[in-house]
Amino acid sequence: MKISLIIPCYNEEDALLPLYEELFRVTESMSDFEMLFIDDGSKDHTLKIIKELSSSDERVKYISFSRNFGKEAAMYAGFCNSTGDYTAVMDADMQDPPSLLPEMVKILEGGEYDSVATRRVSRKGEPRIRSFFSKLFYKIIRKISDTDIVDGARDFRLMKREMVDAIVSMCESNRFSKGIFGWIGFKTYWLPYENVERVAGKTKWSFFGLLKYSIDGIVGFSNTPLKIASWSGIFFTFVALIMLIVIFVRTLIFGDPVAGWPSTICIMLFIGGIQLFSLGIIGQYVAKIYNETKKRPHYIVAQSNKEDVVKK
């Protein structure tokens, strides 16, 4: 049973050695094991350290991108190039505890499940404001998307070959893995664990980075914003019709004293705002369509110690 472990790394020079040591320890019992480090265009010594590891341990493989393409692209490159019967994705910062791996393998070997996914039951150590917005995002996306997206779910999961093949076949360029995992289905066992803080370095996500990512997730897995735009259009047309009738009747009865321009301006501004908002929503989807139609590669490989690297 071969196990591939995909590790996306972006500027993780301080985290790599502790991670490798821990992995070395927990995978002792696994006979056929490979670590596939994806260097996502790091600007520090990440690639150098990975290369050193690979020269002393032939289980270490790496693919290095020509620039930073983002974690989603790194994970996709990993899936496209993983050869194991079981494949897992794991963060380089040890926030996905390597010590869970043997247990995950055992559960998959039980045969009942196709994947073992992990879920943080606490967000201890994370900035309050980030937890608040994360929770809000999950609440919203779970309401408006048909896909099962679990709150607190990590990208850290171990999957059977069939599942990896399904992920590779989903070749959209706006990738949102949590949605993709839910969309493809399969039987998943959820393994809860307490949040762990990163071993070294700091998070690569800024507030706006996360905001953009969550909009990608919503646009990628729900059409509800478009429906909101059309429903608000219908609603305001209806309101306008009623107002028209009211004003018409009032003019017939009371005559036409000129008054009420402030309210007119307010209504115009309000409707104008709603129109631009709706256009913006449509624009988001159009932008995504535009991106998809360009069919650009997901990532560009600059170096690797793997023969025939799969490029997508």
| Site membership for ligand UDP, residue 8 (CB under 6 A) | yes
- Note whether 130 binds ligand UDP by CB under 6 A: no
State yes or no: residue 98 binds ligand UDP (CB under 6 A): no
| The token pair that represents 282 in the structure block | 């449509």
Using CB atoms within 10 Å of the CB of residue 75, give its burial: 0 to 12 exposed, 13 to 18 middle, 19+ buried.
buried
Q: Which of 93, 152, 158, 181 binds ligand UDP (CB under 6 A)?
A: 93
Smallest distance, Å, CB 30 to ligand UDP?
Answer: 21
Q: How crowded is residue 115: how many other Cβ atoms within 10 Å of its Cβ?
A: 24
The nearest distance, CB 8 to ligand UDP, in angstroms, is: 3
CA 43 to CA 276: how far, in whole Å? 40
Q: What's the closest the beta carbon of residue 262 comes to ligand UDP, in angstroms? A: 48
Among 5, 9, 50, 116, binds ligand UDP (CB under 6 A): 9
With beta carbons less than 8 A apart as the criterion, state whether 148 and 217 touch.
Answer: no
238 contacts which partner out of Mg ion, ligand UDP, none, CB within 5 to 8 A by kind? Answer: none
User: Mask of contacts with ligand UDP, 171-200, x by CB under 6 A?
Assistant: ---------------------------x--
Half-sphere exposure of 311 (CA within 13 A, CB side): 13
Picking from 160, 161, 155, 157, the residue whose alpha carbon sits closest to that of residue 178 is 155
- Specify the residue, 50 or 116, whose C-beta has the smaller distance to ligand UDP: 50
Q: Which of 2, 59, 161, 204 binds ligand UDP (CB under 6 A)?
A: 204
Token couple for 57: 């341990």
95 binds Mg ion (CB under 5 A): yes
CB 121, min distance to ligand UDP, A: 16
- What is the number of alpha carbons within 13 Å of residue 268 lying toward its C-beta? 6
Here the tokens at position 128 are 């309050």
Query: Residue 92, interface with ligand UDP (CB under 6 A)?
Result: yes
Q: Is 11 in the site for Mg ion (CB under 5 A)?
A: no
- Which of 202/294 has CB closer to ligand UDP? 202
Among positions 13, 14, 34, 91, the unique one binding ligand UDP when judged by CB under 6 A = 91
Least separation in angstroms between residue 228's CB and ligand UDP is: 29
For 105, the token pair is 């393998």
Q: How far apart are alpha carbons 113 and 57 in whole angstroms? A: 31
93 binds Mg ion (CB under 5 A): yes
What type of residue is 303? Q
Q: Of 218, 217, 219, which Cα lies nearest the Cα of 289?
A: 219
Pairing outcome for strands 153-160 and 2-9: unpaired
Distance between CA atoms of residues 141 and 280, nearest Å: 19
Q: How far is the CB of 306 from ligand UDP (least distance, A)?
A: 18
Among 23, 36, 63, 74, binds ligand UDP (CB under 6 A): 74
Number of residues that bind ligand UDP (CB under 6 A): 17
Count how many residues are written for the chain: 312
E strand or H helix at 86: strand 86-89
Binding site for Mg ion (CB under 5 A): 91, 93, 95, 198
Binding site for ligand UDP (CB under 6 A): 8-10, 12, 40, 68, 70-71, 74, 91-93, 95, 198, 203-205
